[in-house]
Amino acid sequence: MAIKKAVPMQRSADNGLGLYLQRVFSLMFGAVMLTAVASYLTIYAGGITLFVNQGGFSALYYIVLFGGLGLSIFAQARAFHMSPATGGLLLAVYSVLMGFVMTPLIWGALAVNPASILQAFVLASVMFGCMALFGYKTARDLSFLGVFLFIGMIGLILIGLASMIWPLGGTFATIVCAIGVLVFALFTAYDMQFQKKAYAAMGDETQKNQLAVLGALHLYISFIAMFQYILSLLNRR
């Protein structure tokens, strides 16, 4: 009798997790779409001149860049202290800001090799899907990666900021891009496993919705970062 009761309960838990992950990926893919639209409209409406000038990046570009970074940190720190609707709104705003930030990279790729944009998107999508599936399916605990990935991400951010003053070039730039792809690919697997475990620990529906927004933000950051690093690798010349 206990076994018969356990089977429906297990199915219910699996269905709940499946619906939860659908919510996470819906939010994430919506954010990616907003980023693409924001970048497209900025380029083809002539807004690129607001972010790039003859001297390099404009002051507005740096305001948007650091504003977006600050917003992402705030959203992650306050994820469980705001309503899911507010968290979703912040995710949408952040994804639009990222669309603006990515505009110079996309614009440069269009000038050098337009096909590389689609190639980078496909490669990033395949890597993201494979690593997300690995993180979901693996029985190995990936929590040990957390510290190393966080340190790697901070290092990449610092190198990225430094490159605005002292541009990277040659082999070092290629190595940095390759490390960036690896770090955020592993982050994808790590975050997927974390989402799976965290969902089981959440109590009410509100907490699960808050966690869904946070998970979507984490996965969005990993996907966008992989896309940017792959696109940079494809256009290193």
> Which pLDDT tens digit goes with each residue over 80-130?
999 999 999 999 999 999 999 999 999 989 988 899 999 999 999 999 999
Distance of alpha carbon 165 from its chain centroid, rounded?
A: 25
Where are any strands of DSSP class E within 177-237? Answer: none
In the predicted model, what is the mean pLDDT of the chain? 88
Q: What is the mean pLDDT of residues 52-75?
A: 89
* pTM greater than the 0.85 cutoff: yes
pLDDT at 112 (0 to 100): 87
Give the end-to-end CA distance of the chain in Å, rounded to a whole number: 67
Q: Which of 27, 33, 103, 36 is nearest to 65 (CA)?
A: 103
On whether the CB atoms of residues 61 and 25 are closer than 8 A, the answer is no
Please report, rounded to a whole number, the percentage of residues in the chain having pLDDT higher than 70. Answer: 92
Q: What is the mean pLDDT of residues 17-25?
A: 90
47 three-state secondary structure: coil
Structure tokens at 210: 């808050």
User: Does residue 14 register a pLDDT over 90?
Assistant: no
CB atoms within 10 A of CB 208: 18
